[in-house]
Amino acid sequence: MERLRDLDEAELLARVLPLYAAAVAPDDAALPVGPGDDAAVLATPSGTVVATTDGMVRGRDWRDDWSSPHDVGVKVSVQNLADVAAMGAVPTGLLVSLVADPDTPVDWVLGLAEGIAAVSRESGAPVVGGDLSSGPAGVVTVTLTALGDLRGRRPVRRSGARPGDVVAVCGTLGTSGGGLALYLAGRSSGGGEDADRLRAAHRAPRPPWEAGPVAAEAGAHALVDVSDGLVTDLGRVARASGVGIDLSGEALRTRFASGPLERCLGADEALRQVLGGGEEHSLVGCFPASVDLGALPGRPWVAVGRVGGTGPDGASVTVDGVVPDVRGWDHFAGA
Amino acid sequence: MERLRDLDEAELLARVLPLYAAAVAPDDAALPVGPGDDAAVLATPSGTVVATTDGMVRGRDWRDDWSSPHDVGVKVSVQNLADVAAMGAVPTGLLVSLVADPDTPVDWVLGLAEGIAAVSRESGAPVVGGDLSSGPAGVVTVTLTALGDLRGRRPVRRSGARPGDVVAVCGTLGTSGGGLALYLAGRSSGGGEDADRLRAAHRAPRPPWEAGPVAAEAGAHALVDVSDGLVTDLGRVARASGVGIDLSGEALRTRFASGPLERCLGADEALRQVLGGGEEHSLVGCFPASVDLGALPGRPWVAVGRVGGTGPDGASVTVDGVVPDVRGWDHFAGA
């Protein structure tokens, strides 16, 4: 098997860069300088640029026996695009930094690049730059930076939620966490189409990043993606905005916890994943009550709660007025 | 000793973010959204943004027995700023991604942040975002993304060198490689001020990133930073531009290989480091002959060669007409 140590950097780049170049047609106006110079130059017609970075570590953020390199490439890309979307922006460029053991198979790296290229193609954001470094034995880390453009709109902050706003979700909830629960329970295959869907959502989610600009255009007061769990992420919105958020248990059960999640995990665990499951990267917005959610273009937004004053004992987020028992994910303490 | 696993992510960020915030005074116009939201938003008054990413891996790109965490923070920052400078741009923002073993001392991470903050302060580019991930035992990788602004000028590409251009260097050559040579020879301390200077240049270089915009303003046709060695990096310029570059052995010996390098390593090894030493991050430009290098503001530019046709056997870079015997650094094959 061909491994990274068998190629020099130029040879590896000669195989990787065409995958990226084929994903998004070159546009010299939008990308005056692409990969290959000291740095890339991107057009920023709005006069601002949105920037975020997020990485994945082999053995921590993915397992090779569960995830293909394509899965990893998709996941690391979409989690960055979701952060861009959560500001209300359109993705415009990706930078890819790979640290890899020289024993890593070349095919694994090409599979990773194909996954990133697939998201690049779907989102229209070209890969504009990157970096390759050799790592210690067994180590592979992939860090992406995503850039975005607000199309002249103001960024949608976490801190803008106001009492009376409707809280609405675009995309699924709990499916990535549900898939992880299946893997952790040893159910890494079988279980039919429902289980396959949950596991796929964990390995390579497809959050609705196109909905970020839609929410911004509709006048959303606050917007985040679900990285660490609905209650955890909405708690950040609530604290930043100085408000409380009350979620509807019925809306969450009927619109999100039912279906594959409930059939695979049972009703209680399904609701727990909807409230606490991370890495879903769906979008949650706080909209003025005057916004007709049903009229928004693209994937549907589902109302799941209301912004009000803080809950009992100053709680930021409640479900039907009660503080839910969920725990978010913490990278170091939770490891 | 306090370690990362003793803190949750919020507690760690509460110690790190103030270091960055204190480095560059907040400017809401330049940075409408800083760290803490889903993504940062930076002003890009020129209508473009320059973007680059570059990482360092413990045990590969630094050794803990040689480099302090402050050194690592400085080095990973300046190598990114040098790439921004090599397009002719001014640095405007940094994103920091850290993957670290939960056993990593908290003080190490704070020292790293202080090193990054020191460069942030000196360059005026704020840290606008970042990411923290736990890594396998013993693993620490730091990846930075740097953003920059061209101030309305066109980017200075590698491909613009023209026959008749004067090749000039701003900053030192070979000192980082010379310092590494001392470490590798077991001379990790002692040797007086000269040796200290070389070792410091290897651990935490201070390339002249301010000179990038100066070169662009003066009309440089091509510009790069010395990442992999003068001959290797100029070879890329020569090939991208379809030209040859002939360097002056005398200029390189008298202006760069003399002094600390020659006193520590001898004349032959000093010249070898000037031609082949990597990680110096000084800037090399190809200027129209009409440019008065002596009149450029800031750190001096020293003429070291001429752009012409390709050399003997199609060689891209020669020294006094002869192909030099140097080898650049390759991350995987050279590891």
Cα–Cα dist A86/A270, whole Å: 25
Q: How big is the A-B interface in CB pairs under 8 Å?
A: 248
Q: Which residues contact A231 (CB under 8 A, 6 or more apart)?
A: A247, A275, A276, A317, A324, A326, A328
Cα–Cα dist B50/A43, whole Å: 9
B13-46 pLDDT, tens digit each: 999 999 999 999 878 899 999 999 999 999 999 9
Which has more pLDDT, B335 or A47? A47
Is the pLDDT at A328 greater than 60? The verdict is no
**243-302 in B: which are within 8 Å (CB) of A?**
none
Confidence of residue B215 (pLDDT cuts 50, 70, 90): very high
| Residues B115 and B170 occupy one common structural domain | no
Is the pLDDT at A255 greater than 60? The verdict is yes
| A97 neighbourhood in chain B, CB within 8 Å | 53-55, 97, 143
| Residues A227 and A255 occupy one common structural domain | yes
The percentage of residues in chain B with a pLDDT greater than 70, rounded to a whole number, is 96
State the best of A6, A49, A95 to mutate against chain B, taking most chain B CBs within 10 Å. Answer: A49
Residue A271 domain flag: yes
Helix H or strand E segment including B303: strand B301-308
Over residues B159-181, the mean pLDDT reads 97
The radius of gyration of chain B's CA atoms, rounded to the nearest angstrom, is 20
B89 CB within 8 Å of a chain A CB: yes
Coil/strand/helix, residue B128: strand
| Residues B173 and B314 occupy one common structural domain | yes
A100-153 pLDDT, tens digit each: 999 999 999 999 999 999 999 999 999 999 999 999 999 999 999 999 999 999
Q: Which residues contact B90 (CB under 8 A, 6 or more apart)?
A: B84, B124, B148, B149, B150, B151, B212, B213
| Residues A63 and A123 occupy one common structural domain | yes
Over residues A240-268, the mean pLDDT reads 96
DSSP A257: I
Query: What is the strand order of the sheet B244-247 is part of?
Result: B222-225, B283-287, B166-170, B301-308, B244-247, B317-319
The percentage of residues in chain A with a pLDDT greater than 70, rounded to a whole number, is 96
pLDDT at residue number A28:
87
Residue B278 domain flag: yes
| Residues B163 and B253 occupy one common structural domain | yes
| Residues A240 and A288 occupy one common structural domain | yes
* Closest partner CB to B332 (pick from A9, A41, A59): A9
B28 CB within 8 Å of a chain A CB: no
B237 CB within 8 Å of a chain A CB: no
* Closest partner CB to A60 (pick from B44, B135, B150): B135
| Residues A219 and A254 occupy one common structural domain | yes
B67-124 pLDDT, tens digit each: 999 999 999 999 999 999 999 999 999 999 999 999 999 999 999 999 999 999 999 9
| B129 neighbourhood in chain A, CB within 8 Å | 51-53
State the best of A7, A15, A38 to mutate against chain B, taking most chain B CBs within 10 Å. Answer: A38
Range of the domain at A80: 4-149
ipTM above 0.85? Answer: yes
| Residues B194 and B142 occupy one common structural domain | no
Nearest CA-CA distance, residue B221 and chain A, Å: 14
Residue A134 domain flag: yes
B269-324 pLDDT, tens digit each: 999 999 999 999 999 999 999 999 999 999 999 999 999 987 666 779 999 999 99
Interchain proximity A146–B39, CB inside 8 Å: yes
Cα–Cα dist A296/B316, whole Å: 58
Question: Cβ distance A177 to A264 under 8 Å?
Answer: no
Question: Cβ distance B251 to B304 under 8 Å?
Answer: yes
Q: Which of B149, B177, B208 is the last residue of a domain?
A: B149
First to last CA, chain B: 33
The percentage of residues in chain A with a pLDDT greater than 90, rounded to a whole number, is 92
Q: Which two tokens stand for residue A189?
A: 């295959």
Residue A42 domain flag: yes
| Residues B33 and B93 occupy one common structural domain | yes
What's phi and psi for B230, nearest 5 deg?
Answer: -55, -50
B53 CB within 8 Å of a chain A CB: yes
Nearest CA-CA distance, residue A249 and chain B, Å: 26
| A130 neighbourhood in chain B, CB within 8 Å | 53
| Residues A82 and A10 occupy one common structural domain | yes
Cα–Cα dist B305/B175, whole Å: 20
* Closest partner CB to B135 (pick from A36, A57, A134): A57
Nearest CA-CA distance, residue B102 and chain A, Å: 6
Dmax of chain A from CA atoms? 62
What's phi and psi for A89, nearest 5 deg?
Answer: -105, 160
Cα–Cα dist A99/A317, whole Å: 39
Confidence of residue A335 (pLDDT cuts 50, 70, 90): very low
Interchain proximity A38–B99, CB inside 8 Å: no
Single-letter residue type at B48: T
CATH number of the domain bearing residue A259: 3.90.650.10
Is the pLDDT at A332 greater than 90? The verdict is no
A83 CB within 8 Å of a chain B CB: yes
pLDDT at residue number A315:
76
CATH number of the domain bearing residue A95: 3.30.1330.10
A64-111 pLDDT, tens digit each: 999 999 999 999 999 999 999 999 999 999 999 999 999 999 999 999
A328 CB within 8 Å of a chain B CB: no
Confidence of residue B332 (pLDDT cuts 50, 70, 90): low
Residue B330 domain flag: no
Confidence of residue A327 (pLDDT cuts 50, 70, 90): low
CB atoms within 10 A of CB B22: 11
CB atoms within 10 A of CB A3: 17
| Residues A74 and A211 occupy one common structural domain | no
| A158 neighbourhood in chain B, CB within 8 Å | 36-38
| B41 neighbourhood in chain A, CB within 8 Å | 48-51, 87, 150, 155
The percentage of residues in chain B with a pLDDT greater than 90, rounded to a whole number, is 92
The pTM for the full model equals 0.95
A228 CB within 8 Å of a chain B CB: no
Question: Cβ distance A158 to A241 under 8 Å?
Answer: yes
| Residues B230 and B293 occupy one common structural domain | yes
Residue A327 domain flag: no
Residue A334 domain flag: no
The candidate with the shortest Cα–Cα distance to B21, out of B103, B98, B97, B116, is B116
DSSP A306: E
The total number of structural domains that make up chain B: 2
Confidence of residue A311 (pLDDT cuts 50, 70, 90): low
Cα–Cα dist A151/A170, whole Å: 21
Residue B331 domain flag: no
Instruction: Bin A97: left if φ > 0, else alpha if -120 < ψ < 50, else beta.
Output: beta
Interchain proximity B332–A138, CB inside 8 Å: no
Interchain proximity B129–A59, CB inside 8 Å: no
Single-letter residue type at A298: G
pLDDT averaged over every residue in chain B: 95
Q: Which of A149, A176, A203 is the last residue of a domain?
A: A149
B37 CB within 8 Å of a chain A CB: yes
A7-30 pLDDT, tens digit each: 998 999 999 999 999 999 878 899
Q: Which of A131, A149, A167 is the last residue of a domain?
A: A149
pLDDT averaged over every residue in chain A: 95
Residue of chain B whose alpha carbon sits nearest to that of A7: B333
